[in-house]
A and B are shown apart, each in its own frame.
Chain A
Amino acid sequence: MKMKIVASLFATLVSSATLAQVAVTDPWVRATVPQQKATGAFMQITAPADARLVEARSPVANIVEIHEMVMDKDVMKMRAISGIDLPAGKAVELKPGGYHVMLIDLNAQVKEGDVVPLTVVIEGKDGKRESIELKAAARPLNSSGVMPMHKH
Chain B
Amino acid sequence: MPSIHCAARTAVRTVFALLAAVALTACDSTALQFRNTDITGANFGTDFSLLDPEGNTRSLSDFRGKAVMMFFGFTQCPDICPTALSRATEVRKLLGDDGQHLKVIFVSVDPERDVPEVLKAYTAAFDPDFLGLYTSVENTRKVADDFRVFYRKVPTGGSYTMDHTATSYVYDPQGRLRLAVSHQSSAESIAADVRILLQTASSRP
A contact residues vs B (CB 8 Å cutoff): 30, 33-40, 63, 65, 67, 69, 71-72, 74-80, 96-97, 100, 102, 104-105, 140-144
8 nearest interchain CB pairs? Answer: A40-B78, A33-B121, A38-B76, A76-B80, A141-B125, A63-B157, A142-B86, A77-B163
Contact of B79 with A74 in the complex, beta carbons under 8 Å: no
Q: Which residues of B contact A30 (CB under 8 A)?
A: 78, 82
Q: Does B154 contact A (CB under 8 A)?
A: yes
* Separation of A96 and B183 alpha carbons in the complex (Å): 12
Q: Which of B109-125 contact A (CB under 8 A)?
A: 113, 115, 117-118, 121-122, 125
Q: Does B36 contact A (CB under 8 A)?
A: no
Contact of B163 with A33 in the complex, beta carbons under 8 Å: no
Q: Nearest Cβ in chain A — how far from B184, in angstroms?
A: 8
Q: In terms of DSSP, what is the predominant structure of the interface of chain A?
A: strand
Q: Which of B70-100 contact A (CB under 8 A)?
A: 75-80, 82-83, 85-86, 89
Q: Nearest Cβ in chain A — how far from B138, in angstroms?
A: 21
Given contacts A63-B157, A75-B164, contact A35 B79 (CB under 8 A): no
* Separation of A12 and B118 alpha carbons in the complex (Å): 52
Contact of A63 with B83 in the complex, beta carbons under 8 Å: no
Q: Which of B149-205 contact A (CB under 8 A)?
A: 150, 154, 156-159, 161, 163-167, 182-183
Nearest-CB residue, chain A, relative to B88: A142
Given contacts A35-B118, A63-B159, A142-B89, contact A102 B78 (CB under 8 A): yes
Q: Which residues of B contact A144 (CB under 8 A)?
A: 83, 86
Nearest-CB residue, chain A, relative to B81: A76
Nearest-CB residue, chain B, relative to A100: B78
Q: Which residues of B contact A39 (CB under 8 A)?
A: 76, 78
Q: Which residues of B contact A97 (CB under 8 A)?
A: 79-80, 83
